[in-house]
Copies of this chain bind each other. A is one copy, B any other.
Amino acid sequence: MSNIEIKKNKELDCNIVEFTNANFKLVSGSVLENFKIAFKTFGSLNQSKSNAILICHALTGDQYVSGHNPITERDGWWSRMVGPDKPIDTNKFFVICSNVLGGCSGSTGPKEKKDNKDIIHGGSFPSITIQDMVSAQVKLIDVLKIDKLFSVVGGSMGAMQALQWSVDFPNRIRTIIHIAGALKHSAQNIAFHEVGRQAIMSDPNWHKGNYDEEKSIPERGLSVARMIAHITYLSEDAMHRKFGRKLQSRDIISFGFDADFQIESYLRYQGRSFVERFDANSYLYLTRAMDYFDHSETYRKTLEFINNDNDDINYLVISFTSDWLFPTRENKEIVETLNNLSRNVSFLEIETDKGHDSFLLDEPDLDIAMKGFLESNYRNTHE
């Protein structure tokens, strides 16, 4: 018999909702008999349950959107954005952030144990799509007895989830904030992901994903994958401004393969520290989910099918001038489709040299736009 239970997890400092005998059917056709979603909430749900915002995290994010992250021992990844009196104001809004299906911070994913067994999924974990992540989130929202989310907010892979919400569950959201995403993952983005995956899968410690059984970790492969990805998160201008050709703690070059240049030490550090907090298999499954994301052929028809009466969503789409992973023109395709169908959409392109990662960094224009959008929509629906 199916069962749903919310448990507090002390070690992970979050809640975990466990679905037993739930037979969750994935897009691939595989079925997860049991699954769990790790999540955090911030602020209070109001009586009418009309102030809930779901924040969807990016590829390497987690449920620790704000406050203390017990895994990294650092502040949450969007502490700047989410909290009392912050742009997403937890005095006003009830913020939910869950670890995605396939992730590695407590939700069901390759590093979690198989149903009633002592071994973990590892390489036998089924393939995950963005649609599956959102289906799991809907089940969480059901458990929390929230009929309609005030907003779904996300950047990068989070933007993909937000878009998927608007397509699959348009009547369960009032607004979406879609930051630095696209209707599809481009050939170049698939290429960078593929090289990262090859780095992991060609690490002899990977063992076809079953490294846990072999008591090994494909650290070197994962580290290289992270380094590649990290280059794509920055812009060339930002890299030039921050590092240029500056040397690392040496006046002269070493004529060797040590990290002579600051950009090299920086990347090596990014690789090393990532390995401490992220599971290599999760990286494979989540990058694959992003690669599979593609609404480019179907978006307009899907929206037409959801007629205007059912789709009263207010959309905010944000892009960054120096983002070459999800450039403005790809974000604009979404805006143009919505405009063509007379939906309520605001679009903002933010001038910055910080690249794709801008949404995680100090960008006052982003804060102002998000705060303004959320609060004016909140007033309109609550007055």
Residues of chain A touching chain B, judged by Cβ–Cβ distance below 8 Å, are 27-30, 126-127, 184-188, 190-192, 194-195, 197-199, 201-204, 220-221, 223-224, 227-228, 231, 236, 239-240, 242-245, 253, 255-257, 259-261, 263-264, 267-268, 271, 284, 288, 291-292, 294, 296, 324
Contact = CB atoms under 8 A, between A and B. Distances in A.
Chain A contact residues, majority secondary structure: helix
Given A239-B191, A257-B288, A263-B190, A223 B198 contact: yes
B127 A245 contact: no
B267 A195 contact: yes
Contact of A236 (B188, B203, B220, B256): B188
B261 A187 contact: yes
Nearest to A297: B245
A272 to B, nearest CB: 11
A88 to B, nearest CB: 32
Contact of A194 (B187, B190, B220, B264): B264
Contacts of A255: 27-30, 126-127
A34 to B, nearest CB: 20
A194 B227 contact: yes
A268 to B, nearest CB: 7
17 contacts: A186-B245, A187-B239, A187-B244, A187-B261, A192-B231, A194-B264, A195-B228, A195-B267, A198-B271, A199-B224, A201-B257, A202-B220, A202-B221, A202-B223, A203-B220, A228-B228, A257-B284
A240 B28 CA distance: 26
Determine how many copies of this chain the complex contains. Answer: 2
Scoring A188, A239, A260 by chain B CB atoms within 10 A of each residue's CB, the highest score goes to A188
A186 B236 contact: yes
Given A253-B292, A284-B257, A199 B201 contact: no
Nearest to A188: B236
Given A245-B187, A245-B294, A264-B190, A195 B257 contact: no
A223 B28 CA distance: 30
A263 B190 CA distance: 8
A191 B245 contact: no
Contacts of A264: 190-191, 194
Contacts of A242: 187
Contact of A186 (B185, B240, B267, B296): B240
Scoring A190, A192, A224, A264 by chain B CB atoms within 10 A of each residue's CB, the highest score goes to A224
Contacts of A267: 191, 194-195, 198
A187 B240 CA distance: 6
A284 B256 CA distance: 10
B202 A204 contact: no
Contact of A224 (B198, B257, B271): B198
A59 to B, nearest CB: 16
Given A239-B187, A294-B245, A227 B263 contact: no
Contacts of A284: 257
A187 B243 contact: yes
A78 B288 CA distance: 37
A123 to B, nearest CB: 9
Nearest to A242: B187
Contacts of A204: 204
A227 B29 CA distance: 32
A185 B245 CA distance: 8
Contacts of A236: 186-188, 324
B263 A231 contact: no
B198 A256 contact: no
B231 A188 contact: yes
A190 B304 CA distance: 47
